[in-house]
Amino acid sequence: MTTNVSHGEHHHSHHFDSAEHEYSSDKEGLWLFMVTEILMFGGLFVAYAIFHSIYPEMFSEGASHLDWRMGFINTLVLITSSLTMALGIFYNQQNQPKKAFWNLIATILLGCCFLVIKYLEYSGKFHHGIYPGRFLDMAVVNPVHQNLGLYFGLYFCMTGLHGIHVVIGMSLIGWVAVRTYKGHFNSHYYTPVEGVGIFWHIVDLIWIFLFPLLYLVG
């Protein structure tokens, strides 16, 4: 389709030789950014590993306060959202923007679903006096391990930072969904959708590590 070709060329900036050249550069930049995301969460995982080796019993007590069913449902929700995200990219590549659009909307809704469940979990914890670190209500929780607050400090930091990423991811998906709806993407140009998709998959992947480490450790 000639219109698509001209559309593709429209997106090739002056300092690149071709659209493919620009696409491969964009992809490399995106992956490098993902490296920084993983390294940032890596700091939290290192802190987790260190404290887990010092206070293993604190972690099993902490996990016993969490409801693994909630975490499990959220894992399923995010894995499904990764599927719809991938379909959103796929249908854009296949010049089917309508289907792509609805899959992206489904991804956003699944993200909302994840956040609602997370909200229920957080409010349940607060209701039982479980706050991070020094705000943990010792009288109400009556923990066996005196440092239980530290476990929940890590829990809230790790899931909180992840939650912020889910919100950022949803906004980005909203942005590419609007552009998909306006017909900006086609089989020659879909870099932003793919980039947002990569980000979303990384956010999911981090949750897949958080779930067993926080809920199932024991």
Secondary structure class of 189 (helix, strand, coil): strand
Instruction: Check residue 1 for interaction with another protein (CB under 8 A).
Output: no
Instruction: Check residue 171 for interaction with another protein (CB under 8 A).
Output: no
Torsion of CA 111, 210, 63, 135, to 10 degrees: -80
Least distance in angstroms from the C-beta of 172 to another protein = 15
Strand partners, 63: none
Cα(23)–Cα(11) distance, rounded to whole angstroms? 10
Cα(154)–Cα(205) distance, rounded to whole angstroms? 18
Instruction: Check residue 153 for interaction with another protein (CB under 8 A).
Output: yes
Binding string, residues 28-47; x marks residues near another protein by CB under 8 A: xx--xx-xxx-xxxxxx-xx
Residue in 106, 109, 112, 157 binding another protein, rule: CB under 8 A:
157
Residue in 8, 11, 12, 51 binding another protein, rule: CB under 8 A:
51
Cα(170)–Cα(80) distance, rounded to whole angstroms? 14
Binding string, residues 91-130; x marks residues near another protein by CB under 8 A: ----------------------------------------
Secondary structure class of 15 (helix, strand, coil): coil
**Of 207, 217, 173, nearest to 53 (Cα)?**
217
Binding-site ranges for another protein (CB under 8 A)? 13-16, 21, 24-26, 28-29, 32-33, 35-37, 39-44, 46-47, 50-51, 54-55, 58, 131-135, 146-147, 149-150, 153-154, 156-157, 161
